[in-house]
Amino acid sequence: MKDVIDVFKSLTDETRLRILKLLETGELCVCEIVAAVNIVQPKISFHLRTLKRAGLVKDTKHGKWTHYRLDDSDIFKRFLLISVLERIESDKILKDRSRLEKFRQGKDVAAACGKC
């Protein structure tokens, strides 16, 4: 039962929902999430750890950089994520997506975070 509680608790934070919505389109490096959400890296890492502990995201290490993606291995969590993410209005995430695109265009992403 604790795992179900952890999943629902992790979905109660706006920042974590924004991160999940960004990951809906594919894998992102921590530096890309930081740029998109416009929050300092330690706070983003805290939210990512919370989402990972709840089994909503997976990570992959690339040298010293970590990339995150949605974890779709559990059908209950996947359906829950689909239901939650479809209810987040597109305009709420537009600024995050815009900042992500500016980061990708304005910087040499490979130099900024290794293997993005």
CB 51 within 8 A of CB 19: yes
Between strands 57-62 and 28-29, the pairing is unpaired
Give 39's contacts (C-beta < 8 A, 6+ positions apart).
15
Fold type of domain 2-103: Arc Repressor Mutant, subunit A (1.10.10)
Length of the chain: 116
Q: Which residue type is seen at 36?
A: A
Domain ranges of the chain: 2-103
Q: What is the mean pLDDT of the chain?
A: 89
pLDDT at residue 107 greater than cutoff 90 = no
Exposed / middle / buried, residue 47 (Cβ in 10 Å: 0-12, 13-18, 19+): buried
Write down the pLDDT at residue 116: 56
The secondary structure of 88-109 as a DSSP string is S-HHHHHHHHHHHHHHHHHS-H
Tell me how far apart the alpha carbons of residues 41 and 48 are, in angstroms, rounded to a whole number: 10
Lowest mean pLDDT of 12-16, 23-27, 59-63, 86-90, name the range: 86-90
C-alpha span between 58 and 40 (Å, rounded): 21
**pLDDT number for residue 65:** 83
For residue 109, the model assigns a pLDDT of 53
| pTM given for the model | 0.87
More confident residue, 92 or 23: 23
Higher-pLDDT residue of 61, 106: 61
